[in-house]
Amino acid sequence: MKTIVITNLKGGVGKTTSAVNLGYSMVTLGKRVLLVDADPQSNLTPFFVKSHGYSGRTIQEVFRSPEKIRNIIARTKYENIDIIKGSVKLKEADASDEKALGAALSQVRQEYDICIIDTRPAVEAVTRSALLAGDVFLTPVQLENFCRDNLSLLEDELTGIAYEKDATWRIFANMVINKRSQLAIYTDMVQKHDWSFMENCISRSEVVNNALQRYKPVMKHRRSSRVAKDYLELAKELLEV
Ligand SMILES: Nc1ncnc2c1ncn2[C@@H]1O[C@H](COP(=O)(O)OP(=O)(O)O)[C@@H](O)[C@H]1O
Ligand SMILES: [Mg+2]
């Protein structure tokens, strides 16, 4: 099982959207997927399970009783995607044992090919636990004025953990309007810093918001859309990281 942690200090950059769509794309590539909603906002969860199924078995219980992970993992409405549901009650104090999530996930590593963890836009105990369980840290960015500063701050947070874990950090551009004109900023950023960008990026598309309103992956909503293809290509590239 390869564990991908989607992380950025910034909100609204497409972390949850990417967890949904990369998760679904991985299944279409024949992979068995486990999703983990480690954001107390729990925006990932309703894409995959009905909301009345929230109570009880959530990420909070995984932190409390890592040995019970198999009872906590829920089936979703999609074949080959299971989920550890989010909890609005999740507190940083729940993650006082920062190794608990990784220890829990290691029990099911034979049962899944890919695990994708969605996190909140901050690196504190819960997100640190997710990072400590990860093999790849994946950061969506919008190529705009502040993203360089934002990435520098994130780099400070991630470097130590990545080193400790021997994990790989990858960045990809989301909400890309014009690949060619944005490539200038892109090239500049990569040259000045030692940052590794994914080759594939994700177009900005209304299809994403329309799918989101229906709590669906873009592939389920508009299979032939450009953005559905973007996610599939990014998922393929991630399998090689
Ligand atoms: N490629 C995209 N094109 C258009 N809108 C997008 C795209 N990716 C994300 N969005 C929109 O941006 C908003 C924030 O996305 P979200 O995944 O919730 O961000 P985060 O989890 O980082 O806070 C949502 O309304 C989502 O629909
Ligand atoms: Mg989110």
Residue 214 near residue 221, CB atoms below 8 Å: yes
Q: What is the pTM of this model?
A: 0.96
Is residue 120 in contact with ligand 1, taking CB distance under 6 Å?
no
Contact 47, 217 (CB under 8 A): yes
| Candidate of 8, 10, 17, 174 to mutate for ligand 1, largest count of ligand atoms within 8 Å of Cβ | 17
Give the pLDDT of the chain (241 residues) as one tens digit per residue. Answer: 999 999 999 999 999 999 999 999 999 999 999 999 999 999 999 999 986 655 679 999 999 999 999 999 999 999 999 999 999 999 999 999 999 999 999 999 999 999 999 999 999 999 999 999 999 999 999 988 788 889 999 999 999 898 888 999 999 999 999 877 877 777 777 778 888 999 999 999 999 999 999 999 999 999 999 999 999 999 999 999 9
